[in-house]
Amino acid sequence: MNKVSSENITEGIKIIADPVYQPYHSSEKEKRFLFSYEITIVNQSKVGVTLRSRMWKIINSDGEDKIIRGEGVVGEMPFIAPGESYKYTSFSILDTPFGTMEGFYILEREDGDIIQANINRFYLTAPITHK
């Protein structure tokens, strides 16, 4: 795991977040910094889970935060069987070259119990070139 990534396990649900700066879709002059991030959700529990919703807190380097809530991820509500994993990639756009993301997923276990699986803070960092 690199120093900008994060990893957490909540009730047997492991979440790994790995961000990557996308320079070809960013513009320092226009204050547009695009970051993709790959999320891997690994079900290490003995019960299958369905990802129902998400919450992200995105904070730029000026301390301004944005909360994003929604159903599922990338248009899906995946079922993750015990021992299986689910991976997806999404993106975030900041108006500063540095920021953080953190949040949680709400997952429903096959037995009906609800889990809030936390996504530890990870870092969005763009190399700055002063011209």
Tokens of 84: 């299986």
Q: How many CB atoms lie within 10 A of CB 93?
A: 14
Q: How far apart are CA 74 and CA 40, in angstroms?
A: 13
Match 């807190």 to its residue by tokens.
57
In the block, residue with structure tokens 């997806």: 88
Condensed to tens digits (0 to 9), the pLDDT of residues 32-58 reads 999 999 999 999 999 999 999 999 999
Q: Please tell me the class of the 6-125 domain.
A: mainly beta
* Nearest alpha carbon to residue 9 among 40, 38, 36, 37: 40
Q: What is the mean pLDDT of the chain?
A: 94
Residue of 29, 30, 41, 26 lying closest to 92 (CA atoms): 26
Predicted structure pTM score: 0.91
Structure-block tokens of residue 82: 């015990």
Query: What are the extents of the domains in the chain?
Result: 6-125
The answer, yes or no, to whether residue 7 has pLDDT greater than 90, is yes
Which pLDDT value is given to residue 3? 76
Phi, psi for residue 92 in degrees, rounded to 5:
-140, 145
